[in-house]
Amino acid sequence: MHTWFECKVRYEKTGEDGLPKKVNEPYLVDALSFTEAEARIIEEIKPFVSGEFTVSNIKRARIAELFDNPSGDKWYRAKVNFISLDEEKGIEKKTAVTMMVQAANLKDALMLLIEKLGNTLSDWEIAAIAETAIMDVYPYAGTQREETGETSD
């Protein structure tokens, strides 16, 4: 289970006109706590930012699923309703979840989302999809030790 945090990083970068300007860019980080999210975003951003930068905000992001697409350069937030039947009351119940989709444009994001959701057994509907300002996503890439079966004497 992933726990996503939206981290905003404030730093100075050179604008299109060649002048420096302050920016506050959001990133998604998979971490166990706010402290780990801050440490991870600092490590991930260091190689790309020259000069000083600060983590200006961290908030928990409730994201149920993330679909990345290497050919895409934008992130889209989709609200998907899963529909179930409440047999006791005989009515439909909708459970909303948020999903992130990486794509080149809105149409590609929609098509990728439909493709991925097509494999689910539940009924669903896409309630909303919109482009976000997310610059990049950093999933957890932990190291796992391999057991070789060797013993030391």
CATH (domain of 29): 3.10.20.10
Is residue 85 within 8 A of residue 94, CB to CB? The reply is no
Per-residue pLDDT tens digits for 68-117: 998 999 999 999 999 998 888 888 899 999 999 999 999 999 999 999 99
Inside any domain, residue 146: no
User: Are 77 and 129 in the same domain?
Assistant: yes
| Residue at 32 is within a domain | yes
Instruction: Answer yes or no: do 106 and 128 share one domain.
Output: yes
Q: What is the pTM of this model?
A: 0.83
Same domain, 78 and 41: no
Same domain, 99 and 84: yes
- Are 57 and 101 found together in one domain? no
The residue range of the domain holding 34 is 1-61
Query: Residue 73 — φ and ψ, nearest 5°?
Result: -125, 0
Q: Which residues contact 129 (CB under 8 A, 6 or more apart)?
A: 76, 77, 78, 79, 101, 106, 109, 110, 113
pLDDT tens digits along 15-70: 889 898 999 999 999 999 999 999 999 999 999 888 899 999 999 999 999 999 98
For the chain, what is the domain count?
Answer: 2
